[in-house]
Chain A
Amino acid sequence: GQQLNQSPQSMFIQEGEDVSMNCTSSSIFNTWLWYKQDPGEGPVLLIALYKAGELTSNGRLTAQFGITRKDSFLNISASIPSDVGIYFCAGQGGAHNDMRFGAGTRLTVKP
């Protein structure tokens, strides 16, 4: 099946720093999505990208859909303590248009 490689696995940063994480795949996706998961809750959609090359922002978050359709990155600017959580990339496409997820990036923000 399609595999997504998400990196880094974890990040420890100081409040106010910028964060960058990315996902790569050996397969092409029609849609790239970024989710955040807090403990004990389900993933919550942050940003959805629908076109190759698309750059989309949501507040302090910016994500891009790679030109090759095989990668995406997420940037968080000026991190704050509530940014703590696990961030997942997901690609949607294939024969059944199902979603495949990366293994997640665990973000810790130190005040």
Chain B
Amino acid sequence: NAGVTQTPKFQVLKTGQSMTLQCAQDMNHEYMSWYRQDPGMGLRLIHYSVGAGITDQGEVPNGYNVSRSTTEDFPLRLLSAAPSQTSVYFCASSRTGLSNQPQHFGDGTRLSIL
């Protein structure tokens, strides 16, 4: 069972470069989301999607774009990377966005911006 798959696992970028972090789930989940994890701050929601074609901003959306063209995939784009975006990024999914549907996480992408 693949669950939530994130690629790449590690990436180093230079300031100003663009990049797309990939997230795919094979559980036919409607709800997908992106978080960033920084030391001492837990996980913070960047963007989320309640279904194909629908996205919305979370707590810290600035500097990131998302799209949801299929149920399975939810890529996160950094258009012009900044050192402040150095973090560990987690993608998560759940069957729906209802509060009785816990989210399941991928293993993360560790991103460093120089």
Contacts and interface: CB of A to CB of B under 8 A. Distances in A.
B102 A88 contact: no
Contact of B90 (A42, A50, A93, A98): A42
A98 B97 CA distance: 8
Interface string B81-110: 000000000101000011110111111100
B43 interface: yes
Contacts, number: 64
Contacts of A45: 102-104
B52 interface: no
Interface residues of A, number: 29
B42 interface: yes
Contacts of B4: 42
Q: Which of B35, B42, B105 counts the most A-chain CB atoms under 10 A from its CB? A: B42
Nearest to A2: B59
Interface stretch (A11-19, A55-63, A76-84, A101-109): A101-109
A42 B108 contact: yes
B41 interface: yes
Contact of A31 (B35, B90, B99): B99
Most B-side CB within 10 Å, residue of A29, A48, A96, A98: A98
Nearest to A89: B42
B45 interface: yes
A41 B59 CA distance: 23
A93 B99 contact: yes
Closest 6 CB pairs of A and B: A42-B105, A101-B42, A30-B99, A31-B99, A101-B43, A103-B42
Interface of B: 4, 33, 35, 40-45, 48, 56, 58-59, 90, 92, 97-100, 102-108
Given A30-B99, A31-B100, A35-B105, 20 more contacts: A40-B108, A41-B107, A42-B90, A42-B92, A42-B105, A42-B107, A43-B43, A43-B105, A44-B105, A45-B102, A45-B104, A92-B99, A96-B48, A96-B58, A98-B58, A98-B59, A99-B43, A99-B45, A100-B45, A101-B44
